[in-house]
Structure 1
């Protein structure tokens, strides 16, 4: 897991239970991964809501991105390229 590699990363979870909550926090489906409040995999065209998300991985569509995709996305956020 990435947190084992990076002691500067803290993982927290937030349960979004209603459409109103999803709209308040701009939640675009589960799982949504953020780094310092910035979506690692933004989907600006998706409306806020309680839907499930799928991610395009090298192996096809999946319920979450690969560890390598998450690593790359974090690096991009840290570099300000996202």
Structure 2
């Protein structure tokens, strides 16, 4: 084995959680935290449809427009914000 020479780069330190999060956000093309709202309060609750006891809300991200059904308020999988608002009920 050879001894490390003075020209070898120093071993890299492990990134912090914040640095890893920033790098992942950059690689996925997500907006910078300053460019996206951090959170919006939930809108008024949707009235349950007449006669339905089970269902899911359809949620829309007010930042990027993503829509999907969920039991509870989801974080947007595209822009990673909590800018989701319930827009309608889907019965089950």
TM range (shorter): under 0.3
TM-score (norm 1): 0.27
TM-score, normalising length from structure 2? 0.25
Structure with the greater alpha carbon radius of gyration: 2
Larger relative contact order (C-alpha < 8 A, sep ≥ 6)? Answer: 2
Q: Which has the higher helix share?
A: 1
